[in-house]
A = this chain, B = another copy of it.
Amino acid sequence: EILSKEAVNGVGVDQELISAVPSWNPTFVERNFTDAEAAYCKSQPSPPASFAARWVGKEAVFKALGVSSKGAAAPMKDIEILPDESGVPTVALHGDAKAAAEAKGISKVLVSLSHSETTAIAFAQATSA
């Protein structure tokens, strides 16, 4: 008999002014977004809003993972957020972020994104099974 128990491990919230996220800067985009994320954001009605929403989404996931201070080398590219077939933002972890999640027993990360005219906001939740 195998019993599953899911527990919420961490939560994360983050917000930024859309104007504060330098998505016009190719170096910033290249360093922090996967090719699929960048292509998706550029296809949206407001690319700056989409980049900003995804950026705060990555920060919120980072907080939910409960990893210690990120510093300049934070592997934000390792936290990939893409819409599933229903349009629900879905998190895939790679590299260091994946290793950190596995070390903490985190098996699922949920995220939600929102942006107004000026502000992007995100919430994330990490659960272990």
Interface residues of A (CB under 8 A from B): 3-8, 10-17, 20, 60, 63-64, 66-69, 85-88, 108, 110-114, 116-117, 119, 121-125, 127
Contacts and interface: CB of A to CB of B under 8 A. Distances in A.
B6 A112 contact: no
A125 B8 contact: yes
Nearest to A69: B87
A87 B110 contact: no
Instruction: Give the one of A87, A88, A108 with max B CB within 10 A.
Output: A88
B119 A15 contact: yes
A112 to B, nearest CB: 4
A23 to B, nearest CB: 17
Contacts of A11: 110-112, 123-125
Contacts of A108: 8
Contacts of A3: 3, 5
Nearest to A17: B116
Given A15-B114, A68-B87, 10 more contacts: A6-B6, A10-B112, A11-B112, A12-B112, A13-B113, A13-B123, A63-B88, A116-B119, A121-B121, A125-B125
A123 B125 CA distance: 11
